[in-house]
Amino acid sequence: MTEADAAVAEVQRAIVQLGLAQDYVGLQDYVLKSPEPAVVIIGAIWALLNDGVIRAAYLVAKILHLRGIVSPIISFALYFGGIEMNDSADVAAGKRLLREQHDKQSPETQHTAYYALEPLILQQISLAFADGTEFTPAILRLLDFLKQIVPDFRTRFDLEAPTVPFDIAKVRARGHASARLRPQFSPPEDSLRRPRRALVAFREKVFPHFINSRLLEQGPTMVAALNNYGWNARFHGFNFNKQEIQDAERLAARCLEEKPDVLILDAVLYNFPRPLQVLTEMRRALPDMKIVALYFDAWSVRLKQLKTTISLTDLIWTVSPDFEPWKEPEFAGKVAHLVLPRGGDYGGPILPLQPRIFFGGGVAAYNWHRALWIAAARQEGLPLDTNLNAFFDDKLPPLESYQAFMRRLADGRCAINFSMRQDMKTFPVTGRSFEIVAAGALLVQETSPEMDCYFIAGEHYLPFSSFAELRGVVDFLREQPEEAERIRRAGNAFYRARYHDDLLIGHLDNALYGAKPA
């Protein structure tokens, strides 16, 4: 612990003790007469906020504020402390100060300030969701706060803005103009397919660090797709929660014993130094084995890690075609932008479309913005049905669980996907976009430039980028059901024609072995 950290900790302890004793006069005297500089006391406020001691942080922030000391942390404590203490004047002061402090800063400083406060934002979201399903008021208060430090949110989540009419002709025209559909190939005839032996090594749980996480379906669905194509594939599950080196050692031992032609590996193992060493040795021992590193979320990986990955693998499998690192020369010809297989054909739309939208997913640190959309929709009475427990263990085998999930999407008939990520600049295409269309539901998609590589907006799905536009989509569903149904069916037909499992595995075979599909 540094000397500065020790000083902050000492001030924090003193504040907590005075707060527990309800000695508020003593607390004021301590803060006003403290020999420590203001930066140390502000550091103690930050520590108190991180520990969830909102009231004490608020009282100290209020004292400093009255002394004319300005800091985003003080403003944050005034805002949320004012909410807890039911002091509307301090809520308003905290909000006003935050916007004033933010708007006069450079973009670089603005991002620094935001990232400093982000842990507390995530904490507030966690606390709101811990209260159960009635989280809307708390999330809307958080949104009100965020609008002061994230200017884009002022328009994106402007609940008072007039509805933007969804003009399908204009949306479709823009969709065709921006489309960048990737080349389409046909898989070889059955007689030309090579019965390759494959090992699919993926994590077993969606979130390995959560005890009650649902089992991850991508491994079993990949195995099913490979076997349906004519390969001989088997699954190797691992759980990298504090046992990464054992995971790598067991995988290497199995590969050395079975010597598969192809290893399709959940690339998360490449993120750890010791497993990386084990996998490097395995690569040397089995030079003829093709290794495919699959990144579920390439946007969350550092360039250094990706460069290490490409040096140890024959191919990177990703669904993120616009990811900046792919432009680096070492990735040329070694990245396959492929949709993940679904392990079967789920057919087309069955139930008639209804003007309601379904969301099935979770809210995590990397996609916490979903909470803002959901709370705003509930506040404004949008017809949004939610299942926020999609990642919790349902006690079903992975394939059975996934089939049930796809049925829920299909039964929802119209489903929404949010794409913004933690940096608020990245809007990647995600697996949920493909699942909704594959299940036969109508996709309502937060705008993502990468979608232009896979579908045509207005032709295969309905895009939106602000709450005012989302209201326009809802009106379109209600007022033009025949056109909405046509888009739903066109999207599903397009998916089944271009992204069916056989085609995807044919692409993979061609990328690895260079055999020209028939």
Q: Is 203 helix (H, G, I), strand (E, B) or coil?
A: strand
pLDDT band at 518 (very low <50, low <70, confident <90, very high): very low
Whether the CB-CB separation of 457 and 181 falls below 8 Å is answered with no
Q: Which DSSP string do the residues of 278-311 spell out, in sequence order?
A: HHHHHHHH-TTSEEEEE-TTGGGS-HHHHHHHHH
Average pLDDT in the 462-488 region?
97
Instruction: Kindly report the average pLDDT of the chain as a whole number.
Output: 89
* pLDDT per position as a tens digit, 134-192: 678 888 988 988 888 888 899 999 999 999 999 999 999 999 999 999 887 778 888 78
What per-residue confidence (pLDDT) applies to 373?
95
Record the pTM: 0.89
DSSP E strands: which ranges in 97-245?
Answer: 197-203, 232-238
For residues 190 and 171, give the distance between their C-alpha atoms in angstroms, rounded to a whole number.
40
State in Å, rounded, how far the first CA of the chain is from the last one: 65
> Other CB atoms closer than 10 Å to residue 281's CB: what's the count?
13
* pLDDT per position as a tens digit, 108-132: 777 777 777 777 778 778 777 765 5
Q: What is the CA radius of gyration of the chain?
A: 26
What per-residue confidence (pLDDT) applies to 467?
97
Top-tier CATH class for 195-341: alpha beta
For residues 92 and 79, give the distance between their C-alpha atoms in angstroms, rounded to a whole number.
7
Which stretches within 413-480 are classed as H helix?
Answer: 431-438, 467-479
Closest CA to 359 of 338, 341, 378, 342: 378
pLDDT band at 440 (very low <50, low <70, confident <90, very high): very high
Assigned CATH for 168-179+346-498: 3.40.50.2000
For residues 326 and 335, give the distance between their C-alpha atoms in angstroms, rounded to a whole number.
7
For residues 380 and 137, give the distance between their C-alpha atoms in angstroms, rounded to a whole number.
12
What per-residue confidence (pLDDT) applies to 517?
41
For residues 41 and 31, give the distance between their C-alpha atoms in angstroms, rounded to a whole number.
8
**SS3 annotation, 13-51:** HHHHHHHHCCCHHHHHHHHHHCCCCHHHHHHHHHHHHHC
CATH 3.40.50.2000 location in the chain: 168-179+346-498
By percentage, how much of the chain surpasses pLDDT 90?
47
CATH 3.40.50.11930 location in the chain: 195-341
Q: Is 386 helix (H, G, I), strand (E, B) or coil?
A: strand
